[in-house]
Structures are given as C-alpha cells and as structure tokens.
Structure 1
C-alpha cells in the first residue's frame, strides 16, 4: 500500500474551496480530466455521502463513491471501480480547515496499491509521485477558481 499526502494553504475562503471539490460533475474543469459526471446523488445532499462520481482520465475511467461528507470540513471517497482495473483504492480523504487569515488549509490523502503482483510494488512509488503532483496542481487550480 502507498499513501499520498498533500497539504496546501490556499488564499481562498473555505466555502468556495469546498464547493469546488464537492461539485463532482465539475471535475472536468481540471487539467488531465477528460470528463466527469455525478452518476448517483447522495442520500441527504446531492454531492454528499452516498453519491458516486465518474471521472475519465483519457484511457482510465474511475468510479468513486463518496463515503463521508461534512460541509466545509471533509470529503472521503473510495474508487470502487476502474477501467482498466489496475489499482485497489483503500481511501481518499480531503480535510478542509479555515485559517485565521480567511484562507483554507486542505489536507488530502489517498491510499492505494496496484493489483498486479510483484510488478505493482515497483510501479507504486512512481504512480504515487505522479498522483501527488496531480493533487498539488489541482489544489492550485482550485485556489485560482475560488479567488475569481
């Protein structure tokens, strides 16, 4: 198992930052994401717990279930299906914290492993570095969007 961890302080209000991450159908706005859609609404909030999003990353498609949702505080998700089916995703977690200066601290973790025996252990560190970089770029993009 490999865990990716990214923490960034964004100069944008927590309500806007959270709203962008909670808009599952809007993920197509991010670089590297070909398309995104909300495939199932949540039990209480449209994008909340129980919701499912589908994210297309070129040749890879992911279906992610939203496991926990606390407005302006937390989104937890798990990849429940992937094409191709190469990874087992344990958990993704985005925590949001209001900063004294009016900004937002986002702490994002994701734990996964490759389903390919032996070779997967060699691929995980490289994939983790790429995912970590992608998360950091996404956070910078969210900051720009939230400040606009």
Structure 2
C-alpha cells in the first residue's frame, strides 16, 4: 500500500492557491502533466463535487472523481480508473489552511497498485513518484497567473532589455562617440580607401575631444 503525505507553505493567499488546484482542465500547465481534461462538470459548480477529470503523465493516465469540494479549504477525490495498471484508491484529499498572507497545503493520497507479484514494489515507486509530483505541482502553483492577471489586472511587471549574447542587462547608451574597430595595416599595393576614411574619423574625434 502506498501512503503519500506532502505538506508545503505557499506564499499566496488561500483563494489564489485553491483556484489553481481546483482548475482541473489546466493541470497540464504543471511540470510532468502532459494531459488534463474535465470530462464531466460538478453538480453545484464546474469544478466542484461530482466533477470527473482525466490527468495524464506520460503513459500513466488517471480518471478521478471529485467527491468533496469545500471552497477554499478542502477538496477530496478518488481514482476511478487508471492505466496502464490498476490502482485501488482509498484516500485522496487536499486541505488548505490560511497562515497570514500565506497558505499551508496538505496533500494526502493512499491506495494500492494492483499488479500481481509486483504490487509492493510498484507501491514504493508510486510513493516516490507521486510525492515528488505533488510537491512540484504545489511549488509551481504559486507562479501561475489567474485569468484576471492574464488580462492585465494583476501587478505590472517591469521588463529589462537583455544582452542576448551574454544574458545580462544592456548598459545605458553613451553620448560620447566611440570607435572600436581596429584598422588593419594596408596590404602591399594601393591602400584601402575604407581604411583611410575610418582613420580620418578617429583622428577627427580625438581632435574634438582635445579641444574640449
């Protein structure tokens, strides 16, 4: 039997965190989730009690029913179907508790992977994989933007131009002319007119600076 208990304090208010966790159709935004579909809507609200969702992570696909939905403190779910192996799911709950401006999230899942002879080994693998996935999902949920923020109603963000060759902010432009191109010595024969022009520009700039 696998027992998963993940607990984390997130730097967002409880309503924001609950909204991200309860948005079943958008789970594919989280790392490791390749597919998320809301098959049936809930009785009282779209993502509430009775809603049926499908979550895919690589070859693993879970069909889960929301069995309890108490905004913004609690959500229970049960795995009704899974592939490529069967899972007997006995407990699935997510509890949220406000702590000032932050939110404590407790995610518990228990069950048994039903694979002959390999069940115990698969349970241990499920514990490690699901614990890591739940922790990553909760961490990522603090960076998700809600619909209001996506349409410009959130906190404005200041963008700094980057030097794409080095990944650092660009320096302010200087008003003083600078010539960084080096003029190569002319080859044998007639001097290059282009080289003469660049040299003349450099000398002219030097004279102007000296007069100041």
TM over 0.5: yes
* Residue 135, structure 1, aligned to residue 134, structure 2: yes
Matches of 2:46 and 2:97, distance apart in 1: 22
Q: Contact 1:13/1:146 (CA < 8 Å) preserved in 2?
A: no
SS in structure 2 at match of 1:145: coil
Contact 1:17 1:146 survives alignment (8 Å): no
**Which whole-Å CA distance do the structure 2 matches of 1:91 and 1:122 have between them?**
20
Task: Report how far residue 118 of structure 1 moved.
Answer: 3.1
Residue 8 of structure 1: CA displacement?
0.4
CA distance in 1, matches of 2:73, 2:93: 11
Higher strand fraction (1 or 2)? 1
Match of 1:29 in 2: 29
Give 1:86 deviation, angstroms: 2.7
Between the aligned partners of 1:95 and 1:56, the Cα distance in structure 2 is 23
Tell me which residue corresponds to 1:6. Answer: 6
Q: Does 2:38 correspond to 1:15? A: no
- The alpha-carbon deviation at position 117 of structure 1 amounts to 3.0
State the 1:122 CA deviation.
Answer: 2.0
Structure 2 residue 123 is the aligned partner of structure 1 residue 117? no
How far apart are 1:130 and its partner, in Å? 1.5
For residues 73-84 of structure 1, the aligned pairs below 5 Å read 73-84=73-84
Larger C-alpha radius of gyration, 1 or 2?
2
Q: Secondary structure at the match of 2:144?
A: helix
Per the TM alignment, residue 123 of structure 1 is displaced from its structure 2 partner at its CA by 2.2
TM-score by length of 1: 0.93
2:2–2:126: 8 Å Cα contact kept in structure 1?
no
State the TM-score, normalizing by the size of structure 2: 0.66
Gaps of 5+ in 1: none
Distance 2:31 2:128 in 1: 17
Which residue of structure 1 aligns with residue 125 of structure 2? 126
Residues 69-108 of structure 1 deviation map (CA, whole Å, 9 limit, x = unaligned): 00010010011011223321112100000112x1000000
Partner residue, 2:66 = 66
Q: Deviations over 1:37-68 (max 9, x none)?
A: 11001010110000011112121211100000
